[in-house]
Chains A and B, each alone.
Chain A
Amino acid sequence: KAGVTQTPRYLIKTRGQQVTLSCSPISGHRSVSWYQQTPGQGLQFLFEYFSETQRNKGNFPGRFSGRQFSNSRSEMNVSTLELGDSALYLCASSLLPSGGPYNEQFFGPGTRLTVL
C-alpha cells in the first residue's frame, strides 16, 4: 500500500506570493491533517479534513486555508507569504478522524517551504 505522498517536496517562494501544497492520503483513508513544523515552534496543527469538511482549525491566520476533494486528496494554500512561513509542512492521513478509534496518523515526507 502506498504511503502518504506530498508534492512538491521543496519549494522556494518570495514574500507576498502564494503557494499551494498537495497531499494524497493512504488509499482508503478519509481524514487528512496538516501541520507546520519549525525549529522554534515544533509541530503545530493547522487543520483537519474529513469527508471534504474541515473539522477544526488550529491557531493560524486566515492566510492559511485548505480543502479536501472527493477522493480525499487535500490541498493547503498559503497566501501573501511571509518570511515566518518558512517551514516543513507535514500532511498526515488516518482512516477515521482524530478523537476516535483508527485515528493513528501516518505522515508524508513533508514539503519544505522557503520564503525569501
Chain B
Amino acid sequence: AQKVTQAQTEISVVEKEDVTLDCVYETRDTTYYLFWYKQPPSGELVFLIRRNSFDEQNEISGRYSWNFQKSTSSFNFTITASQVVDSAVYFCALSEGATGNQFYFGTGTSLTVIP
C-alpha cells in the first residue's frame, strides 16, 4: 500500500485562484514527519515545510498554508492567490520516526497556473 497518496495528478487553475493540494499518509508510528517539496520545471526539488506528528498546528507562510489533521491522516497544502511562478510539481513526503529508514514520497501533483 502507498504510504503517501496524492490523488490529484494534475491541477490547472487560473492565476489568482486559490488551490489546495491533497496529501494522505499512512503510518503506524506515533512519531513521524511530513514534508512538502516543490519541483519547478528546472528539476531541483525545493523544501517547503516539515511538520512533526506532535504539532498539529496549522502553518501559514505568505501565500502558502498547510492543514495537518491526524484524525484524517492528511497534510494538505493550500496556495492562496496563485501565481504563474507556482506552476510546478508538488510532492508530499513522510518519514517515520520509529523505523525512520527512508522518506516516502507521493507521486506528486502537477500544478499549472494559467495567466
- Measuring CB to CB, which residues of chain A are less than 8 angstroms from any residue of chain B? 33, 35, 42-43, 45, 48, 55-56, 58, 88, 90, 92, 97-101, 103-110
State the interface size on chain B (CB cutoff 8 A): 26
Most buried by A among B46, B50, B95: B95
Quick check: A56 and B103 within 8 Å, CB to CB? no
Number of inter-chain CB pairs below 8 Å = 62
What are 25 A-B pairs with beta-carbon distances under 8 A? A35-B105, A42-B108, A43-B105, A45-B102, A45-B104, A48-B102, A55-B101, A56-B101, A90-B45, A98-B95, A99-B95, A99-B96, A99-B99, A99-B101, A100-B100, A104-B47, A104-B50, A106-B47, A107-B37, A107-B45, A107-B46, A107-B47, A108-B44, A110-B43, A110-B44
A residues less than 8 Å from B104 (CB atoms): 45
B residues less than 8 Å from A58 (CB atoms): 102
